[in-house]
A = this chain, B = another copy of it.
Amino acid sequence: MSRARITAVETHDIRFPTSLQLDGSDAMNPDPDYSAAYLVLRTDEPGGPSGHGFAFTIGRGNDVQTAAITALTPYLIGKPVDTDLGDLWRELVHDSQLRWLGPEKGVMHMAIGAVINAFWDLAAKRAGLPLWQLLARMSAEEIVHLVDFRYLTDALTPSEALTILRERTRGKPAREAEILATGYPAYTTSPGWLGYDDDKLRRLCKEAVQQGFRQIKLKVGADLDDDRRRLRIARETCGPDIRIAVDANQRWDVPIAIDWIRALAPYDPWWIEEPTSPDDILGHAAIARAIAPIKVATGEHVQNRIVFKQMLQAGSLDYLQLDAARVAGVNENIAILLLAAKFGVPVCPHAGGVGLCELVQHLSMFDYVAVSGSMDDRIIEYVDHLHEHFVNPVVVRDGRYQAPTAPGFSSEMRAESLAIHRMDSARTRA
């Protein structure tokens, strides 16, 4: 174990005024100001890197999220730079007093996720590898150690997880090479924000197809007539061969969801995303049964692996949309990838926001090399804003994420961006 230690935890309340352009506008979020509760792990390793992580929020409350990360500082100072991240996850998530604030959900769980992800950024930088490669090269036993199976064993045991991972050992180098050569498929949500007018929708649909995307996504759920018109425009513009997903952002109750989606069926939507509350496992299952063969996708607001477990058990979803910064970081997402592999459900991560594209590409690429071994029917969301604030922004070309090669988790923001968009600076500018 290294003698170098974590010496400081810096936190930053970072906000971007995205509501000015209605980027990110949907049926539940009319005017988000995309924000990050951001942290930096400083160490005393001579010439060594720092670790960067964040929770994504959409504005108000980012101060509370930042305070929750700050509250974890006493657990982190003095930890070795190569601390065991399976043990650290258990220490933070199962802290007997902190868990009362969830357990395993909401502000405190996202704070732990930000911290865990910062440690993974540090670990990958110290290993000189992008995170997806660091994870993909671990042994099955090392990966299983990272996962906490508490509350999962009725659906997935450690030995079943080992079996899944060992079955994927063969062909790993070839899949790693394939990722490096050709990347991973993406779809784009950029055309479909609810606040855009029809001309902008039409123009952005056309551009998306020209850029090589084979799937786009539209926000729906505020007004049925508008949704019909917008989906018709998108279908006419994209043609019959492009998959068009729609996303209701939790707008509906179960009976309304079923009626609304059936009304959109003539325009051949590929999946309906977040038709109702992310907490409604049984509701999603009822919707999925009622609207087949249209698919159900959900997950960006699913609080933890325990809810995903049940959604898989109940048949609540056809596509699992993990989020890199909602659950408790990389470790919990590995548990979720393993659960999805066990149930044979494709993982299509949620992205967008601030830096979520940067993070989830690593998880999907790791999934392909080491867990599911498949890209069939799998695709990562892509939204084309705010990447300029990252030191190693995603590269999407011809509708595919190109494999990141810089060491780390691609989570580090540029120092100028941090300085300009800190809450205090934002206030000064207002």
The 6 listed contacts between A and B (C-beta, < 8 Å) are A29-B96, A61-B108, A65-B101, A150-B253, A152-B253, A279-B304
A237 close to chain B: CB less than 8 A: no
Instruction: Write the nearest CB–CB distance from A335 to chain B, whole angstroms.
Output: 13
A121 close to chain B: CB less than 8 A: no
A11 close to chain B: CB less than 8 A: no
A307 close to chain B: CB less than 8 A: yes
Q: Among B250, B254, B303, which residue has its beta carbon within 8 angstroms of that of A279?
A: B303
Q: Which residue of B lies closest to A31 (CB)?
A: B96
* Stretch of A131-139, A208-216, A281-289, A372-380 lying at the B interface: A281-289
Within 8 A of B (CB), among A76-95: 95
Q: Among B71, B103, B310, which residue has its beta carbon within 8 angstroms of that of A282?
A: B310
A106 lies within 8 A of B97 (CB)? no
Separation of A107 and B102 alpha carbons in the complex (Å): 7
Chain B residues lying within 8 Å of A405, measured Cβ to Cβ, are none
* Stretch of A40-48, A52-60, A357-365 lying at the B interface: A52-60
Q: Among B58, B96, B110, B154, which residue has its beta carbon within 8 angstroms of that of A32?
A: B96
Which 5 pairs of residues, A with B, have the shortest CB-CB distance? Answer: A106-B106, A107-B107, A154-B254, A60-B97, A59-B97
B71 lies within 8 A of A280 (CB)? no
Instruction: Write the nearest CB–CB distance from A429 to chain B, whole angstroms.
Output: 19
Within 8 A of B (CB), among A175-230: none
Could you say how many copies of this chain the assembly holds? 2
Instruction: Write the nearest CB–CB distance from A30 to chain B, whole angstroms.
Output: 6
Instruction: Write the nearest CB–CB distance from A289 to chain B, whole angstroms.
Output: 13
Q: Among B68, B104, B253, B313, which residue has its beta carbon within 8 angstroms of that of A64?
A: B68
Instruction: Write the nearest CB–CB distance from A75 to chain B, whole angstroms.
Output: 9
Chain B residues lying within 8 Å of A96, measured Cβ to Cβ, are 28-32, 58
Within 8 A of B (CB), among A253-311: 253-256, 276-283, 286, 301, 303-304, 306-307, 309-310
A57 lies within 8 A of B253 (CB)? no
A314 close to chain B: CB less than 8 A: yes
Query: Count the A residues whose beta carbon is within 8 Å of the partner chain — how many?
Result: 62
Instruction: Write the nearest CB–CB distance from A287 to chain B, whole angstroms.
Output: 10
A306 lies within 8 A of B286 (CB)? no
A425 close to chain B: CB less than 8 A: no
A235 close to chain B: CB less than 8 A: no
Instruction: Write the nearest CB–CB distance from A99 to chain B, whole angstroms.
Output: 8
Separation of A109 and B102 alpha carbons in the complex (Å): 10
Chain B residues lying within 8 Å of A57, measured Cβ to Cβ, are 97, 100-101
Separation of A319 and B363 alpha carbons in the complex (Å): 41
A32 lies within 8 A of B97 (CB)? yes
A151 close to chain B: CB less than 8 A: yes
Instruction: Write the nearest CB–CB distance from A24 to chain B, whole angstroms.
Output: 11
Q: Among B102, B104, B154, B277, which residue has its beta carbon within 8 angstroms of that of A151?
A: B277
Chain B residues lying within 8 Å of A106, measured Cβ to Cβ, are 101-102, 105-109, 303
Within 8 A of B (CB), among A141-155: 149-154
A283 lies within 8 A of B59 (CB)? no
B253 lies within 8 A of A279 (CB)? no
Most buried by B among A32, A151, A256: A151
Separation of A104 and B154 alpha carbons in the complex (Å): 27
Instruction: Write the nearest CB–CB distance from A288 to chain B, whole angstroms.
Output: 14
